Structure 1
Amino acid sequence: MGSDYILTPEGREKLEQELHYLETEKRAEVGERIKVAREFGDISENSEYDDAKNEQGMVEARIAEINQILSEATIVDTPKKSNKVTVGAIVTVNMGGKERVFTIVGGAEADVAAGKISNESPVGAALLGHKKDDEVTAIGPTGREIKMTILKIEH
């Protein structure tokens, strides 16, 4: 992923909340674990200390990652009056006879299980710029065509 992160205002808020939690509660909690583990004596064979240090490393890495995303992200405000699919839109499609609902988001926010697909994913990229009733074809990861008809676009 390049340095061009795209976030919706909700996505930015979620990251800011996670960052706040990590920088305050989680950092203190891990620091406390390290302090307690040190009191167990010999650090060299203290798995509790190692675990706490590893977790501290992961917490710090995630804090750095969120800070980077937030500093480089382009925040996209969802246009309220658009009849086209844009980042931030909630799109209902007919995909092989099944109704599927996707929210188009930037790559940093993508969460397929929650129906949030990246604007860079095959389906997300294919839907961008299309209108209701458009027939859209995406090429899936396996190389096969995914045909969809846009039923509804909400912003």
Structure 2
Amino acid sequence: MIRALFALSGLALLTYGALLVWDFATSRTVNAVQGAAWFVGGPLIHDGLVAPAVGLTGVVLTRVLPKPWRAPVTAGVVLSGVLTLVAIPLLWRPYGTAVNPGLHDRDYGAGLAVALGAVWAAVLVTGLVRRRRSARRPRAGQS
């Protein structure tokens, strides 16, 4: 019964979303082109470029890095990617989003650099702590 309610509510929301997309696409030709670029180009770029690059990076990191460093560096790479992705619209065009007073009066490049510096400092500290802990543990077969 609960699953049926979830399925029906999901279908209702899907229908509502489809109606919103239809209204957007039919309002102006520019919107239709932008919508097509978003719904077609986005998945093609993701599946053709981003996903294979991320997968290859993960495989390389797993094989190259020592075990104590794998999780921190992987988390750092993921956080760096997300932070960069969020910052791209404002780095690309200073007013790439809706204007919000007080929001656009900062240096986004410097803000991204500080955020990435904090992420990688945390990766370094975490990796060093994990390496030290793994060096203290006796190995199997040793007393």
- Structure 1 length-normalised TM: 0.30
Higher helix share: 2
